[in-house]
Amino acid sequence: MRLDSEDRAVLDYVAQVGGQIVDRAVDWCAINSGSRHLAGLERQRQALLDATASLPAAPVEIPLAPSREVGADGRETELVHPPSLAVIVRPEAAVQVVLTGHYDTVYPETSAFQQVRTRPDGALHGPGVADMKGGISVMLAALEAFERHPAAPNLGYRVLLSPDEEIGSVASAPVLAEFARRGHVGLTYEPALADGALASARKGSGNFHIVVHGRAAHAGRDFAAGRNAVIGAARIAEKLHGLNGLRDGITVNVARIDGGAPLNMVPDVAVVRFNVRFPQAEAAIWFEGEVARIVGEVGDDLHAHLHGAITRGAKPFNAAQQRLFGAVKEAGALLGQDITWKPSGGVCEGNNLFASGLPNVDTLGVRGGDIHSEAEHAWPESFVERAQLSAVILMKLASGDIDGRGIRAAMNALGETH
C-alpha cells in the first residue's frame, strides 16, 4: 500500500479541521447522556442528527424495544430506550463497511462530572471524552473526509449509533446483528487501550441477577417462622465467587446484593447481581450449568429465580481478525503510526458484530484512559491521528488495497459465530 496525492489531500483536510473534531466532542461531553437519563440521551441524539447531516444520506431513527430490569425488590420493570441512529450510504456498493458507536455514557444525571477541562499535562479530562463521544467525532470526521476522495463511490457503509452500550446493548443487540450481516468489515470507535494499542481478542460477558424469596416474620415474636432471603443470597454469592479458578479464563464478579428489612423483621427478598467474563463459548456453557446448579441448591424453604443472560459472546483473535488487523497495521505505517494490539477482558459492540460473523476492529477511537471513572481523559492530538487512520482504512478498502470481501470470506470459512 502507498499514499497517492488524492489520499494525501484527504489527510490534509482532516488535519485542517482537527480543532473542530475536538471541539465537537467537547461540546457533546457537556450533554449528560447516562444510559438511563432519557432527556439527556434525547439531547445527545438531536446533536448527532445535526452532525450526521453532513453525510451523503439522511440519518434515520431505528426504534428499540424496552428492556427488562430487576429492581431491589425483586420485581421486573421496563426500561425504555431512545432510538438508535443510522446512516446508510451506497448500500449497493460492492464493499460494505459497518461503523458503530454509542452515545450513552456511564455517568448518571446526578454526577458532578459534567464538563471537559484541560489538565496541566494537556489531556482533555471529561465525561465521555474518550468513551466515546471523542470516538464518534473521529468516526464522523473520517467519513466526512473520505467522501472527498474520488474512490468513495466504490464503498458503501452503514453507521449505527446506539443509546445502550454501557448497559450491555440489551436493546440494540438485534440491530447490531442485522447490520453485521450486511457488512464485510466492521469499525467501532471505543477508545484505544491505555498505551494506544488496539484490543485483539476479547472475552465474552454476561450480566445476571438471582432473586431470592423467603418468608417475612417478626424477629422477636416469630423468628423461627421466617426464611431469611439475605442469608440465602449471601450463600449464593459465596458459591458464585467459588467458581473463580475452576475453569481457565472465567471470572465471576459478585457486584452487589440488594435486600433487607427493618432490624426487627426477617427479610423475605434479596437480589444477587453478578457479571461473568469467559474466553470461549464452551466456557460460557459450563458457567451457565454451574449457575443453574447453584440456584437449584438454595434450600431452607427459599426460592431463587435467575434473570439475565450472556449479552456478548467471546471474540477470539482468529485468522480473519489477524488478516484485518494486519491491514490496519499497514494503513497505520503509511501515517508513521506503529499499530500494536493485545487481548482485553473488556467487551463492547465489537463482540456483537463478531458474533454475527463480521470481522472488526473495535478500538479505533481516541487515545486516552481511566474510562468509567471521573479521571476519564483523552489526548487531543489523537483526534486527528485516529481520524486519519480511519480515513486511510476507508480509502484502501475503496481502492481494493484492503480486500474487505476477502476478509469477510475468511471469517465465513472459519464459521466462528455464536
Whether 304 has a pLDDT exceeding 60, the answer reads yes
**Angle of helix 18-29 versus helix 38-52 axis, rounded to 10:** 160
Rounded to whole angstroms, the Cα distance separating 288 from 376 reads 34
Provide, rounded to the nearest whole percent, the portion of the chain with pLDDT above 90.
97
Q: Residue 149 corresponds to which cell in the numbers above? A: 476522495
- Average pLDDT of 118-133? 98
Q: What is the pLDDT of residues 245-291, one digit of tens each?
A: 999 999 999 999 999 999 999 999 999 999 999 999 999 999 999 99
> Are residues 163 and 242 part of one domain?
no
Bridge partner list, 186: 98, 360
Interior/surface letters 110-148, b for 16+ CB within 10 angstroms, e for the rest: eeebeebeeeeeebbbbbbbbbbbbbbbbbbbbbbbbee
* Secondary structure class of 383 (helix, strand, coil): helix
Bridge partner list, 308: 208
- DSSP class of 96: E
> Are residues 339 and 308 part of one domain?
no
> Are residues 288 and 163 part of one domain?
no
User: Cell 444520506 maps to which residue?
Assistant: 57
> Are residues 244 and 158 part of one domain?
no
Cβ atoms of 140 and 25 closer than 8 Å: no
| Residue 212 neighbours by CB under 8 Å, 6+ apart | 74, 229, 232, 233, 236, 259, 269, 270, 271, 272, 298, 302, 303, 304
Count how many domains the chain has: 2
For residue 306, the domain's CATH number is: 3.30.70.360
Cβ atoms of 398 and 152 closer than 8 Å: yes
> Are residues 177 and 65 part of one domain?
yes
Question: What pLDDT score was predicted for residue 86?
Answer: 98
Kindly report the average pLDDT of the chain as a whole number: 96
Burial class (CB in 10 A: 0-12, 13-18, 19+), 335: middle
> Are residues 331 and 391 part of one domain?
yes
Q: Residue 167 corresponds to which cell in the numbers above? A: 448497559
Please choose, from the candidates 160, 168, 161, the residue with its C-alpha nearest in 3D space to the C-alpha of residue 209.
168
Please choose, from the candidates 28, 85, 33, the residue with its C-alpha nearest in 3D space to the C-alpha of residue 55.
85
Whether 417 has a pLDDT exceeding 90, the answer reads no
- Average pLDDT of 371-399? 97
**Angle of helix 18-29 versus helix 5-16 axis, rounded to 10:** 40
Rounded to whole angstroms, the Cα distance separating 90 from 69 reads 38
> Are residues 292 and 234 part of one domain?
yes
Whether 300 has a pLDDT exceeding 90, the answer reads no
Cβ atoms of 295 and 213 closer than 8 Å: no
- DSSP class of 207: E
Q: What is the pLDDT of residues 232-248, one digit of tens each?
A: 999 999 999 999 999 99
First to last CA, the chain: 34
User: Which phi and psi (to 5°) does residue 273 adopt?
Assistant: -120, 130
* Secondary structure class of 407 (helix, strand, coil): helix
Rounded to whole angstroms, the Cα distance separating 252 from 203 reads 12
Provide, rounded to the nearest whole percent, the portion of the chain with pLDDT above 70.
99
Task: Give me the domain span that covers residue 49.
Answer: 5-202+315-414
Give CA 169 to chain center in angstroms.
Answer: 7
Question: What pLDDT score was predicted for residue 416?
Answer: 55
For residue 31, the domain's CATH number is: 3.40.630.10
Question: What pLDDT score was predicted for residue 139?
Answer: 98
- Average pLDDT of 154-166? 98
Bridge partner list, 273: 209, 256
Q: What is the pLDDT of residues 47-96, one digit of tens each?
A: 999 999 999 999 999 999 999 999 999 999 999 999 999 999 999 999 99
Which pLDDT band holds residue 369 (cuts at 50, 70, 90)? very high
Question: What pLDDT score was predicted for residue 418?
Answer: 42
> Are residues 408 and 296 part of one domain?
no
| Residue 54 neighbours by CB under 8 Å, 6+ apart | 140, 144
Whether 344 has a pLDDT exceeding 70, the answer reads yes
Question: What pLDDT score was predicted for residue 401?
Answer: 97
Q: What is the pLDDT of residues 217-228, one digit of tens each?
A: 999 999 999 999
> Are residues 361 and 330 part of one domain?
yes
Cβ atoms of 83 and 63 closer than 8 Å: yes
Residue finishing a domain among 261, 293, 312: 312
> Are residues 321 and 236 part of one domain?
no
Residue finishing a domain among 312, 342, 358: 312
CB neighbours (10 Å) of residue 331?
25
User: Cell 431491589 maps to which residue?
Assistant: 72
Burial class (CB in 10 A: 0-12, 13-18, 19+), 76: exposed
- pTM for the whole thing? 0.93
Q: What stretch of H or E contains 394?
A: helix 381-399
> Are residues 225 and 76 part of one domain?
no
Q: What is the pLDDT of residues 15-55, one digit of tens each?
A: 999 999 999 999 999 999 999 999 999 999 999 999 999 99
Question: What pLDDT score was predicted for residue 406?
Answer: 97
Q: What is the pLDDT of residues 168-209, one digit of tens each?
A: 999 999 999 999 999 999 999 999 998 899 999 999 999 999
Residue finishing a domain among 291, 312, 333: 312
> Are residues 403 and 337 part of one domain?
yes
